[in-house]
Structures are given as structure tokens and as C-alpha cells.
Amino acid sequence: MTESGDKKQLLHLVFGGELSNLEEVQFRDLSSLDIVGIFPDYASALLAWRAKAQQTVDNAHMRYFIVHMHRLLDPHDKAQK
């Protein structure tokens, strides 16, 4: 049995950084990316993303993202979130 019981882990990574421009996802400085963490489900990742996005709302170039790691680890996984 997994730590979360019978519920399947759907790992999500939350990270962000300052973009070079607002037209594309190109980070100004890769060494200063903010790795918020890896979360066991979309709901907890979304909470972390919202908190970080709110903290940086005054910086238009700062962006945070949620990466669906479970889709990268198992591309045949049918789970949407």
C-alpha cells in the first residue's frame, strides 16, 4: 500500500521564474528558478501555485507553472489531473 492509501499518486511540480519577455516562456536566469516543490495531486499543487503567484503579482515578468510529472513518467496514463 502506498503512503496515500489506495489513491494513485499523480505527481505535480510547481516552479517559476522571471521571464525574459512576456511573449514566450524563456527564463531570464535559469540559476534563479524557484522550485516550489513536488506535490502528490493537482489540488495541492494548485494551492501552492496560487500562493506563489499571489506573492509575485506585482512583477509582470514573474510566472509560476504546474508540470504534470505523472504524464511525463507514464505517457499512457489516462488521468487528466
Q: What is the pLDDT of residues 3-26, one digit of tens each?
A: 555 677 899 999 999 999 989 999
Asked if residues 12 and 67 have their Cβ atoms less than 8 Å apart, the reply is yes
Is 47 part of a structural domain of the chain?
A: yes
Q: What is the pLDDT of residues 31-48, one digit of tens each?
A: 999 999 999 999 999 999
**What's 21's domain CATH number?**
3.30.70.2400
Domain that holds residue 63: 12-73
pLDDT at 8: 79
Structural domains in the chain (count): 1
